[in-house]
Amino acid sequence: MKKKLYILMAYSGAGKTEIAKHLETKGYNVLQSYTTRQPRYENEYGHMFCTAEEYEEFKSKGEIAAYSLIEGNHYFSTKNQLYNTDIYVCDPDGIVDLKQKTKDIEFITIYIKVDKSTRIKRMQKRGDSVDKILSRITQDGIKFRDKKFDYKVVNYDFDKAVKIIEFIIKTENEEV
Ligand SMILES: Nc1ncnc2c1ncn2[C@@H]1O[C@H](COP(=O)(O)OP(=O)(O)OP(=O)(O)O)[C@@H](O)[C@H]1O
């Protein structure tokens, strides 16, 4: 049986980061992708912060699995990370690339669904600016258009959403 890696995907503000963090406290290994951007605050969750030189080294050794350039910064995950983690928060474009390059891993996509007005309220509460919220909503609409997922989980009741995702992982891992 192939190793399964669970991909959490969602529009901005739907709660994928919060869910991933919570799953980590329950013993799941969550992939922290690398970035050359500066941390926004001390101990920022979700990334491994590295230098441009370190990025070049990973690249020259052929260790990069998924890559994107955002506002002049490199964002990437390594092959080693894919084989040693359970959960990866990744956008739909990133996963297309991974599926093509990594045939010996099965990627199970879990889409976290929340309506637009709730996402806007959560982003406002989180402190995002109106401009940022509007730009995220527009970009996400394009990124997620016509995309298909293995599972869809609504996230209005946080504990329920986490329980369902844990159930999905458990039953998928039990499959032969
Ligand atoms: N079920 C929920 N009920 C209420 N608030 C929630 C729920 N799930 C997450 N949140 C809150 O909503 C906000 C957005 O969640 P989070 O940052 O995890 O979203 P995200 O999908 O990772 O967004 P982004 O892609 O912009 O980082 C956070 O402040 C989080 O605490």
Nearest to 85 by CA among 170, 17, 4: 4
φ, ψ dihedrals at 103, nearest 5°:
-80, -20
Tokens of 163: 């329980």
The domain that holds 28 is classified in CATH as 3.40.50.300
Cβ–ligand 1 contact at 14 (below 6 Å): yes
Q: Residue 71 — very low, low, confident or very high, per pLDDT cuts 50/70/90?
A: confident
- The Å distance, Cα 103 to ligand 1 centre, comes to 32
pLDDT of residue 69: 84
Atom of ligand 1 nearest to the CA of 11: 21
With respect to residue 175, please indicate whether it lies within any of the assigned structural domains.
no
With respect to residue 105, please indicate whether it lies within any of the assigned structural domains.
yes
pLDDT digits (tens, 9 = 90+) for 38-56: 998 998 888 999 999 999 9
Cβ atoms 89, 46 nearer than 8 A: yes
Nearest to 135 by CA among 8, 13, 44: 13
Q: How far apart are CA 25 and CA 58, in angstroms?
A: 29
Cβ atoms 77, 19 nearer than 8 A: no
Structural domain count of the chain: 1
Tell me which residue has its CA closest to atom 26 in ligand 1.
Answer: 12
Nearest to 161 by CA among 149, 171, 172, 169: 169
pLDDT digits (tens, 9 = 90+) for 11-20: 999 999 999 9
With respect to residue 157, please indicate whether it lies within any of the assigned structural domains.
yes
Q: Is the pTM of this model over 0.95?
A: no
With respect to residue 176, please indicate whether it lies within any of the assigned structural domains.
no
pLDDT digits (tens, 9 = 90+) for 92-109: 888 888 888 888 999 999
Range of the domain at 14: 3-170
With respect to residue 144, please indicate whether it lies within any of the assigned structural domains.
yes
Q: How far apart are CA 48 and CA 153, in angstroms?
A: 27
Q: Name the burial class of residue 18, with classes exposed (0-12), middle (13-18) and buried (19+) by CB atoms within 10 angstroms of its CB.
A: middle
pLDDT digits (tens, 9 = 90+) for 150-168: 999 999 999 999 999 999 9
Mean pLDDT of all residues in 60-89: 92
Cβ atoms 137, 114 nearer than 8 A: no
pLDDT of residue 53: 97
Cβ–ligand 1 contact at 128 (below 6 Å): no
